[in-house]
Amino acid sequence: MNNKIRSTTILGMIHNGKAAIGGDGQVTIGNTVAKHNSVKIRSLFNGKVLCGFAGSAADAFALLSRFEEKLEQYGGNVYRAIVELAKDWRTDKYLRRLEAMLAVISKDKTFIVSGTGDIIEPEDQVVAIGSGGMYALAAAKMLKEYSDLSAKEIVEKSLKTAAEICIYTNDNITVEELAE
């Protein structure tokens, strides 16, 4: 049996001046659902940054902790904190082994930080990671273009679409909006 932990679908975006991020609640080990109601998104730096994670939970929490330290160190400068985290991720022997990805949203920027230390800043300000990420991303791009829904509504509906397609994604969804 393959005991690889598979989790999750995270989707975030900035749309019409509002930022939102959401994730499903399923954690899967091999072909077994281990948990239905996990929360994989966090509000950081006094509600000014939203972050979601995919991959190994322990690894993701280690990265979240390191990212939060960088945010504090650089006074909430999200870009600088991400660059410094990515540098550490690529050069630190311990961090290099972590199997996780982060989706990060501030009031005006979206980022994906990959397990190889890459920083991706999508032009359309929509980020998606995890096993169902591309399903949610496709749905979000269409809803963003052809609907009048809010960022939060698009995130929720797109994650529900991913849950209908991806066996590693459920419809127990948590969505957070960035504080004004």
Element (H, E) at 119: strand 119-120
Of 165, 101, 157, 171, which is closest to residue 135 (Cα–Cα)?
165
Q: Decide: helix, strand or coil at residue 158.
A: helix
Pairing of strands 27-29, 49-55: unpaired
Q: Decide: helix, strand or coil at residue 122.
A: coil
The two tokens of residue 164 are: 């209908």
Instruction: Indicate the residue type of 42.
Output: R
Single out the catalytic residue among 8, 9, 28, 169.
Answer: 8
Q: Decide: helix, strand or coil at residue 50.
A: strand
**DSSP secondary structure letter of residue 172:** -
9 is catalytic: no
C-beta of residue 101 within 8 angstroms of C-beta of residue 114:
yes
Please identify every residue annotated as catalytic.
Answer: 8
